[in-house]
Chains A and B, each alone.
Chain A
């Protein structure tokens, strides 16, 4: 499974809802405003700090750069749009809109 999250963790519970359901080994991809969850040192950082222990967590590079996010939580994998396509091809996808 691949779970995509495109909402800021400061705005709503989409990421938390996703992490509640995601099974060990499922991949999680943060995109659009979802990438704010990948930033280190925020009040919501612990969500992804915990998630990387159970999941491969990806964040879309263009969305990170657009938002000036460079200081990321350790073990978050920066992904290109090409990587995104590869992930979608490999997994069943659920979008946590």
Chain B
């Protein structure tokens, strides 16, 4: 499967800290990026909760993965999308989600791009494979 340039998608639909799914999804994103695959990442349903600002897992005694999410762009995971309806359903403002990196020149934060469900559905159709979490 790890063929250079192949279109692959990772979808994240689980909430962040009750299970290992989101942590594992980030590992897979980094692996796909390392193999220079044409990767897109989509957060939808409860997966958008992983993008909630201000998460602090110290009290759970775990390191968490906010640092990894904040460095996706540095790892060349740049095509990162989030479902508008899922954010809305959970009361998360589109401009309040965490940054996944910052612009090299301006230093401005780069956030996942908010898309409508229909746009995400269309993007799914063109993939060689989709790995879901």
The interface bits of chain A over 32-45 (1 if a CB of B lies within 8 angstroms of the residue's CB, else 0) are 00000000000000
Is B13 close to A, CB under 8 A?
A: yes
The interface bits of chain A over 8-50 (1 if a CB of B lies within 8 angstroms of the residue's CB, else 0) are 0000010001001111000000000000000000000000000
Q: Which of A68-91 contact B (CB under 8 A)?
A: none
Q: Is the CB of B125 within 8 A of A1?
A: yes
Q: Which of B91-133 contact A (CB under 8 A)?
A: 117-118, 120-122, 124-130, 132-133
Q: Is the CB of A92 within 8 A of B117?
A: no
Give complex CA distance A97, B11 in Å.
10
Give complex CA distance A17, B125 in Å.
17
Q: Is the CB of A20 within 8 A of B132?
A: no
* Total contacts A-B at CB 8 Å: 40
Q: Is the CB of B132 within 8 A of A94?
A: yes
Q: Is the CB of B132 within 8 A of A97?
A: yes
User: Shortest distance in angstroms between B22's beta carbon and chain A's nearest beta carbon?
Assistant: 13
Q: Which B residues are closer than 8 A to A by beta carbons?
A: 11, 13-14, 44-45, 85, 117-118, 120-122, 124-130, 132-133
